[in-house]
């Protein structure tokens, strides 16, 4: 345990900085264990400045400090220094020494694979030099990098370079969290883009020599993103160069540093033989996300970290729009909702629930969450639905015009919508401050041609928020006649009260309602519905999202009855599935989604919500026997589908081909239960792309026939870190419940288990947690392996530890024995001496 209680920071305590920064000059003299950072910073005091300033700094050795050229002796405080300063503008100069080699936390300046790189969001810049490290302090940066590496990069435009040095200037005022520096023996995949006003931009993806063949797709995605942002949001790029660097060791996916994005190698590098269709799609969306941040995040940034959703919610929304435009919009929507439910609803349902704009935190790194990102994006989508597309576009134009170059708040964001539309959005703002997923209960009635829908909303209590106010909920509704035709097309109902009714007149008979079309609000609809109605909607709904949703509800109902009542697999569900699979008018990617059974974690929550303590082993068994039943009943159909969905010719990651492979591989996974893995072996042996090779391998592992293929895969790919991550991951995620903990433990002893690399760590421990029945095996072995490794990783990399510990966030749903086992592991972690602030905050919130 820590000696001093960590400080909680409150949104309500925000005050503007006493000293602004006019400009920044930095010189880096790079050396692996002793890098010198020289700073020259021009400060301008506020009118009420106290005559003494505070600069953040962590783990820095101060060599010298001057103000206006005269040496000063600052006083050191816990997280920085203070120093008496003149009344007017002044220049601060400092030289500090840091040790990038020793930096395993991957925050600040660190080494990865022999190169230097930085990660400054959220508060990493203070590990590089003394600075007011807060996002509302924005300044232009000039950076000189001196080092022996051939490539020396920083933000902005290149100014000059010579032997062993390079100078960069970023003219756009930015907060320190967007600072970046990269140095290494790198090569570039280059291209260029001409903006619509005719400016040429040099584009480069910088990688180690062996990775040059993995850059083409990322570059193409970048150019498509640049073009899309011009066409759809009118946003042009604003520097002469745009650089992306791939690094092996990175805590997150990627980082939007101005003009110099740093990417986790897994989020940018791809070739057909090493990356799956899902990897390509993820890369496309992350490239777009980071690029879109140039306007939503960089040109307009956040006033303070409580406003994180201002840049993240909007940028996720924009990258989702981009992917929907580039691929299939309905399939993208279903994928996004699946992810939202799996990650954000799960968060909202447990001890870590927090508002999209939190009101307090101990460690901001713990708030890069599904709630801030994914629910934050849903709020933008709702706003757009409520005001309409045209008003949305006008509000965004106003936002960019008015706030360019500023550090803003959610109030600024809401104001542009209020001014554009004349609407009072104060009730909408509740979505930003109230945690928890609203439950929406619906009943209906029909009399004299009038159909009435009545909704009641209720948001459960969450930590610190016992009572909730009603919110404005946009409910997209369509009505179908019993003959299957649509009698009322999609209509947006605006619910603002706790209980509210809406009527539809002039109907001949009672219609079948299709509620929350397109998942128009991030809520849980709790209405009672029967399977006949679900099957009807699965067959007839014109809204593709709700069509899929109906199939999902059927699947869930069947599985829940199997777990709860020991029911047999529902023949009617399997029959409905067969009809969808046979419908060639439906996109293969859509059919693949319908064929995927609900996740076991999702089922556990569903049971818990229904008042049943979930048993992960029973859920696993139900899913297994349902899959057997589907495979048996639909065997010949699946076999023809598998053949029909083979994509001839050269591999391409485009959405259409990927959709066919997704359907073929979903069929393969089921068929392997019937043919003992014969098809999977053929596919594995003959695959010329990773999507099919990995699907073959997965199906073989599941049939208990994977040993040889795993060995062959290892021999083929042990030199490719990203592929080797898949090898580790698949073994843990597909292990049988009573073997999973052992598999994970054995793999952590493998010579290639480089546990300090976040991707590799996650490939074993994250994959173990994704194996619900294995992780929650009643022996508790899964919990112990996890806790052992979290305790080991924490002093090395607090951020990755604190993120991984969320695997325990659902612990209160389980039985008393499992709860006791998890509580003991959480306590063991909490009682570890010198636990990081990151992990200490998370463990105490989870433990409650």
With contact defined as beta carbons under 8 Å apart, do 169 and 142 qualify?
yes
The residue from 365, 520, 731, 733 that contacts ligand 0A1 (CB under 6 A) is 365
Contact partner at residue 562 from Zn ion, ligand 0A1, none, CB < 5 to 8 Å by partner kind: none
How many residues line the site for ligand 0A1 (CB under 6 A)?
Answer: 15
How many residues line the site for Zn ion (CB under 5 A)?
Answer: 2
Q: Which is nearer to ligand 0A1, 59 or 253 (CB)?
A: 253
With contact defined as beta carbons under 8 Å apart, do 288 and 319 qualify?
yes
For 788, left (φ over 0), alpha (ψ -120 to 50), or beta? alpha
**Segment near Zn ion (CB under 5 A), from 43-51, 218-226, 311-319, 449-457?**
311-319
How far is the C-alpha of 391 from the C-alpha of 411, rounded, in Å? 18
Q: Which is nearer to ligand 0A1, 43 or 177 (CB)?
A: 177
Contact partner at residue 122 from Zn ion, ligand 0A1, none, CB < 5 to 8 Å by partner kind: ligand 0A1
Subset of 312-351 contacting Zn ion (CB under 5 A): 312, 315
Q: Which is nearer to ligand 0A1, 113 or 158 (CB)?
A: 113
Q: Is 66 helix (H, G, I), strand (E, B) or coil?
A: strand
Ranked by CB distance to ligand 0A1, the top (closest) residue is 252
256 touches ligand 0A1 by CB under 6 A: yes
Q: Which tokens is 477 given?
A: 């509704």
Contact partner at residue 113 from ligand 0A1, Zn ion, none, CB < 5 to 8 Å by partner kind: none
Least CB distance to ligand 0A1 at residue 255 (A): 4
**Interface mask toward Zn ion for 260-299; x: CB under 5 A:** ----------------------------------------
Least CB distance to ligand 0A1 at residue 254 (A): 5
The residue from 14, 90, 165, 368 that contacts ligand 0A1 (CB under 6 A) is 368
**Segment near Zn ion (CB under 5 A), from 3-11, 310-318, 659-667, 828-836?**
310-318
Least CB distance to Zn ion at residue 178 (A): 12
Least CB distance to ligand 0A1 at residue 122 (A): 6
Q: Strand (E) positions, 405-523?
A: 407-408, 439-447, 450-458, 473-480, 486-495, 499-504, 512-515
Residues 6+ apart with CB under 8 A from 758: 106, 249, 250, 251, 264, 797, 800
Known catalytic residue at 290: yes
Q: Which is nearer to ligand 0A1, 261 or 771 (CB)?
A: 261
Q: Which residues of 51-90 are buried (b: 16+ CB within 10 A; e: fewer)?
A: eebbbbbbebebeebebeeeebebeeeeebbebebeeeeb
The residue from 39, 129, 154, 251 that contacts ligand 0A1 (CB under 6 A) is 251
Q: Which is nearer to ligand 0A1, 134 or 144 (CB)?
A: 134
With contact defined as beta carbons under 8 Å apart, do 87 and 51 qualify?
yes
Q: Which is nearer to Zn ion, 170 or 312 (CB)?
A: 312
Asked whether the CA dihedral 755, 758, 759, 761 is positive or negative, the reply is positive
Least CB distance to Zn ion at residue 320 (A): 12
602 touches ligand 0A1 by CB under 6 A: no
Q: At what angle do helices 740-748 and 781-793 cross, to 10 degrees?
A: 30
DSSP string, 673-698: HHHTTHHHHHHHHH-SSHHHHHHHHH
With contact defined as beta carbons under 8 Å apart, do 125 and 108 qualify?
yes
DSSP string, 112-139: ETTEEEEE-TTTTGGGTS-B--STT--E
Q: Which is nearer to Zn ion, 315 or 806 (CB)?
A: 315
Asked whether the CA dihedral 313, 315, 321, 326 is positive or negative, the reply is negative
With contact defined as beta carbons under 8 Å apart, do 569 and 575 qualify?
no
Tracing tokens 């400080």 back to the chain, one arrives at 7
Query: Length of the chain, please?
Result: 848
Q: Which is nearer to ligand 0A1, 144 or 289 (CB)?
A: 289
Question: Do β-strands 512-515 and 473-480 pair in parallel, antiparallel, or remain unpaired?
Answer: antiparallel
Classify burial at 643, counting beta carbons within 10 Å of its beta carbon; exposed 0-12, middle 13-18, buried 19 or more: exposed
Contact partner at residue 714 from ligand 0A1, Zn ion, none, CB < 5 to 8 Å by partner kind: none
The residue from 180, 241, 255, 657 that contacts ligand 0A1 (CB under 6 A) is 255
Q: Which is nearer to Zn ion, 301 or 693 (CB)?
A: 301
With contact defined as beta carbons under 8 Å apart, do 42 and 195 qualify?
no
- The enclosing H or E element of 98 equals strand 90-98
**Segment near Zn ion (CB under 5 A), from 304-312, 400-408, 726-734, 815-823?**
304-312
Least CB distance to ligand 0A1 at residue 289 (A): 6
Q: Name the CA dihedral angle for 39, 43, 49, 54, rounded to a multiple of 10 degrees.
A: -10
With contact defined as beta carbons under 8 Å apart, do 421 and 386 qualify?
no
Q: Which is nearer to Zn ion, 288 or 563 (CB)?
A: 288
Q: Strand (E) positions, 600-669?
A: none
Q: Which tokens is 702 given?
A: 């599941």
Q: Which is nearer to ligand 0A1, 410 or 516 (CB)?
A: 410
Q: Which is nearer to Zn ion, 312 or 794 (CB)?
A: 312
Q: Which is nearer to Zn ion, 35 or 315 (CB)?
A: 315
**Interface mask toward ligand 0A1 for 774-803; x: CB under 6 A:** -------------------------x----
Subset of 283-342 contacting ligand 0A1 (CB under 6 A): 289-290, 312
Least CB distance to ligand 0A1 at residue 111 (A): 17
Q: What is the phi/psi pair of residue 838, to 5°? A: -55, -55
Least CB distance to ligand 0A1 at residue 11 (A): 19
β-bridge mates for residue 24, sequence order: 41, 141
Question: Do β-strands 108-112 and 115-119 pair in parallel, antiparallel, or remain unpaired?
Answer: antiparallel
Least CB distance to ligand 0A1 at residue 123 (A): 8
Contact partner at residue 251 from ligand 0A1, Zn ion, none, CB < 5 to 8 Å by partner kind: ligand 0A1
**Catalytic: which of 281, 290, 363, 374?**
290
Contact partner at residue 255 from Zn ion, ligand 0A1, none, CB < 5 to 8 Å by partner kind: ligand 0A1
Q: Which tokens is 186 given?
A: 């790198």
Least CB distance to Zn ion at residue 181 (A): 20
**Interface mask toward ligand 0A1 for 108-147; x: CB under 6 A:** -----------x-xx-------------------------
Classify burial at 688, counting beta carbons within 10 Å of its beta carbon; exposed 0-12, middle 13-18, buried 19 or more: exposed
Contact partner at residue 129 from ligand 0A1, Zn ion, none, CB < 5 to 8 Å by partner kind: none
Subset of 133-172 contacting Zn ion (CB under 5 A): none
**Segment near ligand 0A1 (CB under 6 A), from 5-13, 138-146, 252-260, 779-787?**
252-260
Q: Which tokens is 324 given?
A: 């929907």
**Segment near Zn ion (CB under 5 A), from 143-151, 309-317, 318-326, 487-495?**
309-317
β-bridge mates for residue 455, sequence order: 442, 500
How far is the C-alpha of 533 from the C-alpha of 514, rounded, in Å? 10
The DSSP letter of residue 509 is S
Classify burial at 198, counting beta carbons within 10 Å of its beta carbon; exposed 0-12, middle 13-18, buried 19 or more: exposed
Q: In what order do the strands lie in the sheet with 512-515?
A: 486-495, 473-480, 512-515
**Segment near ligand 0A1 (CB under 6 A), from 251-259, 417-425, 655-663, 759-767?**
251-259
The residue from 252, 597, 664, 835 that contacts ligand 0A1 (CB under 6 A) is 252
Least CB distance to Zn ion at residue 256 (A): 6
Q: Give catalytic residue positions.
A: 290
Using CB under 6 A, list all residues that contact ligand 0A1: 119, 121-122, 251-256, 289-290, 312, 365, 368, 799
Provide the binding-site residues for Zn ion, judged by CB under 5 A.
Answer: 312, 315
């Amino acid at each position: 345990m820590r000696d001093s209680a960590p400080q909680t920071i409150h949104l309500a305590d925000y005050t503007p900085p006493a000293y602004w920064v006019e400009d920044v000059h930095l010189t880096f003299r790079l050396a692996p264990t002793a890098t010198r950072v020289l700073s020259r910073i021009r400060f301008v005091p506020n009118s009420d400045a106290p005559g003494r300033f505070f600069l953040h700094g962590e783990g820095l050795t101060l060599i010298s400090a001057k103000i206006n050229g005269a040496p000063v002796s600052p006083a050191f405080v816990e997280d920085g220094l203070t120093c008496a300063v003149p009344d007017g503008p002044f220049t601060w100069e400092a030289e500090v020494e840091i040790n990038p080699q020793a930096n395993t936390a991957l925050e600040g300046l660190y080494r990865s694979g022999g190169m230097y790189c930085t990660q400054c969001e959220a508060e990493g810049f203070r590990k590089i030099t003394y600075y007011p490290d807060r996002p509302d302090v924005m300044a232009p940066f000039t950076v000189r990098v001196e080092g022996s590496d051939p490539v020396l990069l920083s933000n902005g435009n290149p100014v000059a370079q010579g032997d062993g040095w390079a100078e960069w200037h970023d003219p756009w005022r930015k907060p320190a969290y967007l600072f970046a520096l990269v140095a290494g023996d790198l090569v570039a995949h280059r291209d260029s883009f001409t903006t619509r006003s005719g400016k040429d931009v040099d584009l480069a993806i910088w990688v180690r020599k062996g990775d040059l063949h993995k850059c083409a797709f990322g570059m193409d995605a970048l150019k498509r993103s640049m073009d899309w942002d011009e066409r759809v949001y009118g946003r042009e790029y604003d520097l002469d160069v745009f650089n992306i660097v791939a690094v092996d060791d990175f805590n997150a996916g990627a980082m939007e540093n101005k003009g110099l994005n740093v990417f986790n190698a897994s989020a940018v590098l791809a070739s057909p033989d090493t990356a799956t269709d899902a990897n390509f799609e993820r890369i496309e969306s992350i490239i777009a996300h980071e690029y879109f941040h140039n306007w939503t995040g960089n040109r307009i940034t956040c006033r303070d970290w409580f406003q994180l959703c201002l840049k993240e919610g909007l940028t996720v929304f924009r990258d989702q729009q981009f992917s929907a435009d580039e691929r299939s919009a309905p399939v993208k929507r279903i994928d996004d909702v699946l992810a939202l439910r799996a990650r954000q609803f799960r968060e909202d349902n447990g001890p870590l629930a927090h508002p999209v704009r939190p009101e307090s935190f101990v460690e901001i790194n713990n708030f890069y969450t599904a709630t801030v990102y994914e629910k934050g994006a849903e709020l933008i989508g709702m706003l757009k639905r409520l005001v309409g597309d045209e008003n949305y576009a006008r509000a965004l134009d106003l936002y960019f015009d008015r706030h360019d170059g500023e550090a803003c708040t959610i109030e600024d964001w809401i104001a542009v919508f209020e001014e554009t539309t004349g609407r009072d959005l104060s009730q909408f703002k509740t979505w930003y401050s109230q945690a928890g997923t609203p439950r929406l209960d619906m009943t209906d009635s029909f009399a004299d041609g009038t159909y009435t829908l009545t909704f009641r909303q209720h948001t459960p209590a969450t930590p610190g928020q016992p009572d909730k106010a009603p919110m404005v909920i946009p409910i997209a509704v369509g009505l179908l006649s019993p003959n299957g035709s649509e009698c009322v097309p999609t209509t947006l109902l605006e619910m603002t009260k706790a209980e509210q009714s809406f009527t539809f007149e002039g109907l001949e008979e009672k219609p079948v309602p299709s509620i929350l079309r397109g998942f128009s609000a991030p809520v849980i609809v709790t209405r009672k519905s029967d399977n006949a109605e679900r099957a009807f909607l699965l067959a007839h709904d014109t809204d593709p999202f709700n069509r899929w949703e109906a199939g999902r509800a059927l699947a869930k109902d069947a599985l829940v009855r199997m777990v709860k009542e020991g029911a047999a697999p529902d023949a009617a569900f399997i029959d409905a599935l067969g009809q969808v699979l046979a419908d060639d008018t439906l996109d293969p990617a859509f059919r693949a989604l319908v064929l995927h059974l609900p996740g076991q974690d999702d089922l556990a929550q569903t049971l818990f919500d229904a008042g049943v303590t979930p048993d992960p082993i029973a859920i696993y068994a139900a899913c297994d026997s349902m899959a057997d039943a589907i495979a048996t009943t639909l065997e010949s159909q699946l076999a023809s589908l598998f053949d029909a969905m083979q994509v001839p010719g050269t591999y391409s990651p485009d959405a259409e081909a990927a959709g066919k492979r997704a359907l073929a591989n979903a069929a393969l996974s089921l068929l392997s239960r019937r043919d003992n893995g014969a098809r999977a072996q053929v596919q594995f042996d003959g695959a010329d792309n990773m999507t099919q090779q990995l699907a073959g391998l997965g199906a073989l592992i599941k049939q208990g026939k994977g040993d040889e293929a795993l060995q062959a895969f290892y021999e083929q790919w042990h030199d490719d870190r990203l592929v080797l991550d898949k090898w580790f991951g698949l073994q843990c995620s597909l292990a049988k419940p009573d073997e999973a903990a052992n598999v994970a433990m054995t793999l952590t002893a493998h010579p290639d288990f480089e546990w300090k690399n976040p991707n590799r760590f996650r490939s074993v421990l994250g994959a173990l947690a994704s194996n619900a029945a294995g992780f929650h095996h009643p022996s508790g072995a899964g919990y112990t392996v996890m806790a052992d490794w979290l305790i080991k990783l924490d002093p090395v990399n607090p951020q990755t530890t604190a993120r991984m510990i969320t695997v325990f966030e659902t612990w209160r749903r389980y039985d008393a024995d499992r709860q006791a086992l998890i509580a003991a592991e959480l306590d063991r972690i909490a009682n570890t001496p010198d636990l990081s602030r990151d992990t200490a905050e998370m463990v105490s919130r989870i433990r409650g």
